[in-house]
């Protein structure tokens, strides 16, 4: 018999390099997620879960030419991604977070075109009553100086830029599809450790 071709790693889901998000109590928070597939998709199903069991968003995408349609969702969850453009962005926005929203959010994708290949990635959300200590100094400066809704709007735009940057890095990994079996399962770490990081900085 001929050599078996492995497509186990052809479908990949990523939430970016860092899988932790901190949100201010009462704010809206973006939960980023993108997926890549080497052979395309049809009737693809994606689901967001809270703490592995509670389904908070369920969507389907017929083909690359169509945007996702909603199957079911938590009323506080809004779809903010797009799949007809260059990137398969299935990010969601969680509105008016409170302390009970802290926990694990998992973005899960199933692609029937790849023999029902499945992949998922998770984000840990922490909810705080005050933004005091954070690694993201830009967030602190914007929220501190601008404040209020304008600060949140700029923050949302920044996060969107980060998501687009993550997507760009995900695109860089497509060359791995040429390898029949990569032997690396990045389900948990998203793009952590990707050598693509040392490439050209994104354009402003």
pLDDT in tens, 95-129: 999 999 999 999 999 999 988 999 999 999 999 98
Which one-letter DSSP state was computed for residue 201? P
Structure-block tokens of residue 6: 């492995």
Rounded to two decimals, what is the model's pTM?
Answer: 0.63
The pLDDT of residue 156: 74
Q: What share of the chain is helix, strand, coil (3-state, %, to 5)?
A: 25, 30, 45
Domain spans, the chain: 12-128
The pLDDT of residue 161: 72
Say which residues have a Cβ less than 8 Å from residue 24's Cβ, sequence separation at least 6: 97, 127, 128, 129, 130, 131, 143
Residue ranges in the chain modelled with pLDDT below 70: 1-9, 132-152, 154-155, 162-163, 165-204
The pLDDT of residue 169: 61
The pLDDT of residue 177: 62
- Answer CATH for 12-128 from 1.10.287.130, 1.10.3720.10, 2.40.50.140, 2.60.40.10: 2.60.40.10
Structure-block tokens of residue 85: 């453009």
Q: Do 21 and 127 meet the contact criterion of CB atoms below 8 Å apart?
A: no
């Amino acid at each position: 018999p001929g050599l078996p071709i492995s497509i186990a790693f052809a479908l990949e889901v990523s939430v970016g390099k860092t899988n932790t998000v901190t949100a201010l109590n009462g704010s809206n928070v973006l939960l980023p997620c993108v997926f890549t597939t080497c052979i395309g998709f049809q009737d693809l199903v994606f689901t967001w879960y809270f703490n592995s069991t509670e389904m908070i968003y369920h969507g389907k995408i017929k083909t690359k030419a169509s945007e996702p349609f909603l199957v079911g969702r938590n009323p506080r969850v809004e779809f903010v991604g797009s799949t007809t453009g260059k990137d398969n962005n299935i990010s969601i926005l969680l509105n008016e977070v409170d302390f009970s929203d802290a926990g694990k959010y998992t973005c899960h994708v199933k692609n029937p075109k790849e023999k029902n290949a499945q992949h998922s990635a998770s984000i840990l959300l922490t909810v705080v009553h005050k933004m005091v200590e954070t690694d993201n100094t830009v967030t602190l400066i914007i929220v501190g100086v601008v404040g209020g809704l304008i600060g949140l709007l700029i923050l949302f735009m920044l996060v969107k830029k980060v998501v687009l940057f993550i997507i760009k890095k995900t695109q860089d990994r497509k060359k791995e599809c040429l390898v029949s079996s990569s032997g690396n399962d990045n389900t948990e770490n998203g793009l952590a450790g990707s050598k693509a990081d040392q490439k050209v900085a994104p354009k402003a």
